[in-house]
Structure formats: structure tokens, C-alpha cells
Amino acid sequence: MGSILVVTEILGGNISDTSRELLSKARELSQTLGAEVVAVGFGSESAQALARIDADRAIAVTGQAVEQYLPLAYERSLLQVMEQESPQLTMIANTTMGLDLGAGVAATRGISLAAYCNGLAVEGDEIIAQSQVFAGKLLAEAVLPSEGAVVTILPGSFPASEVEGHPTVTTVDAVSAPGMSLIQVLEPEKGDVDITRADILVSVGRGIQDPENLTLADELADAIGGVVSCSRPVVDAGWLPKARQVGKSGQTVKPKLYLALGISGAPEHLQGMKDADLIIAANTDESASIMDVAHYGTTVDILDLMPALTERLRGE
């Protein structure tokens, strides 16, 4: 029986949501391929976190070298696991760490790498990877070699697994990386809200025109029970903090409702919100790219729409 190796990221003692997405897809693929799902995690908290996930087996890599992300230590430790397991497929999140780690282990082992994946399927005995290319403007498909491949998966590509399991957890020692040490961890500025957990997002773009008009978005978000987010131009202008930005260089979100107000729909923005359950867009330009992904759209001016919608929602 072959195996699918899922590289997990552990945050605050828990498996990250993105890692749960990978586990969910790995389980689906394993049922078709007849493969084992093997998860691997790093650090002193990994064994306890891995004991509660939906995997057949789990490997906790522990040691001072992997308490924080050090590229060479993580790469050498993962290579050691891959050497033992010889997985048919290795799945890694397409995060800052995952892009670095995935490319390193694929190059060292001399196997294929498919990055920026948002789809995986089995056709016959072949695994097909779908990847975003040209900043998300196009999708490309590749047949992964049966002797092994690495894929890095874009966050939000699959539903996260809520299933808890009881895999057998094996602990192995990390491989150190002499000559490289962690000097300091610089935490990003924390936002006032976590837009990735909001069910409803009222997202504004360049069409908001003036920072004073953000009050209209705040009032609408309050009336509908949502949170205000934005596209990159609003952050670049200094009108909202980076934590509120949706898109490739911001946050990937999957709310139940995404109101795109005055957003043109650059590929980098679409990449971060296209999987929302319901997308409603308002833009005076009916040919704006956001209209291509919206379920419903209107060309009403958002400065007229927002107060009118707020009034209706409040029953005034």
C-alpha cells in the first residue's frame, strides 16, 4: 500500500485550518488510491496535536532544531521522513513556509513539484494536479509521476476536515542544521478582527473614493452582522490596516456572504475570495472582472447603495 504524506503546520498547539484542508483532501484521495494517510508535524507540541487528527499514522519530529521554522532543519528532517516512507504524494500548504519547504525537498529528492495547486483528482491510476499560473489568470493541469511528487496547496482550496481520529503517533528526532540559528521572531501586527473567521464580509475597494466613506461600510457591516474588509488599494492608501486586506498578498477568505463594493477584481484579489459561498458585487463598470465571479451583480453606485441597504436592513 502506498502513502500520502501530509505536512502539517501547528499553531498554538493545534493543527492549522489549512492543514485540516490538506488532511480532508488526502483522505478523499486515499480512498480512491487505496493509500495510507500519514501526517507529519514539527516541534514539541506536535505529538499531542497529531494524536487528534484524521490520519492512519502520524510522525512527530521533535528537537530544538525544529521548535521554530529553520529552513535547513525542517528540510533535512522532512527528507528523513520521506526517505523512510517513500510517499506517492507529499502535500504541503502553499504558505510562506510551505513554498520554501516544498521546493527544497522536491529539488533534493529529484522529484516533481506542483505549486499553487487548488485542485487534485484521481483519473485511473494517475493523480492530476490543477495549479494557478500567471497570477491566477489561468489554470494548468499536470499529471504527477507515480514515483512520487510534491504539491503545495493554496489555502481555502478544500473544505477543512472536522473529523477527529486516533492515529498511531511515532516520534523521531529532528535533523540539525549547523551554521543556521534563529535570532528573532518578529510577529506581524495583529489586527482588530480576524476576517478569515467572519461569515459575512463587506469588502470595499477603490470605489469607496474617500476614507470618510468607510463609515458607510461600517454601518452596513453592523446592520448585516458582518465585518469590513478591503482590496489592496485601500490598504496602500492607508485607509484600512493590512489585516483587513483580502487577496494573494493579504488574507484568503471563504465567508458565507462576500459583498464586493467598488472592487474591480484584480486576479490577486479574486484568488483570495473566489470560493465564498455567495458573492454579490456592486461596481459602476459592468465589465469589471469581479462581475465574472459574482453570483449577483449591480452597477448601482456604492455610495448610494450602502446607506440605502443599511436603512432597509435596520427597518428604518
Determine how β-strand 112-123 pairs with β-strand 126-133. antiparallel
Q: Nearest Cα to 44, choosing from 65, 25, 58, 19?
A: 65
Asked if residue 50 lies in contact with residue 172, where contact means CB atoms within 8 angstroms, the answer is no
Q: Nearest Cα to 237, choosing from 208, 257, 203?
A: 208
249 is in an annotated binding site: yes
The three cell numbers locating residue 229: 474588509
197 is in an annotated binding site: no
Question: One-letter amino acid identity for 226?
Answer: G
Q: Nearest Cα to 108, choosing from 75, 147, 61, 59?
A: 75
Q: Nearest Cα to 120, choosing from 35, 22, 254, 38?
A: 22
Q: Which helix (H) or strand (E) holds 31?
A: helix 17-33
232 is in an annotated binding site: yes
27 is in an annotated binding site: no
231 is in an annotated binding site: yes
State the SS3 of 270-316: HHHHCCCCEEEEECCCCCCCHHHHCCEEECCCHHHHHHHHHHHHCCC
248 is in an annotated binding site: yes
200 is in an annotated binding site: no
92 is in an annotated binding site: no
267 is in an annotated binding site: yes
CA 136 to CA 154: how far, in whole Å?
11
2 is in an annotated binding site: no
3-state secondary structure of 170: strand
- Rounded alpha-carbon distances, angstroms, from residue 180 to 62, 149, 191, 228: 17, 28, 31, 41
172 is in an annotated binding site: no
166 is in an annotated binding site: no
For the chain, the first-to-last Cα distance in angstroms comes to 64
265 is in an annotated binding site: yes
- Percent helix, strand, coil in the chain (nearest 5)? 35, 30, 40
28 is in an annotated binding site: no
CA 57 to CA 218: how far, in whole Å?
47
3-state secondary structure of 153: strand
219 is in an annotated binding site: no
Known binding-site residue numbers for FAD: 206, 231-232, 245-249, 262-269, 283, 301-302
Known binding-site residue numbers: 206, 231-232, 245-249, 262-269, 283, 301-302
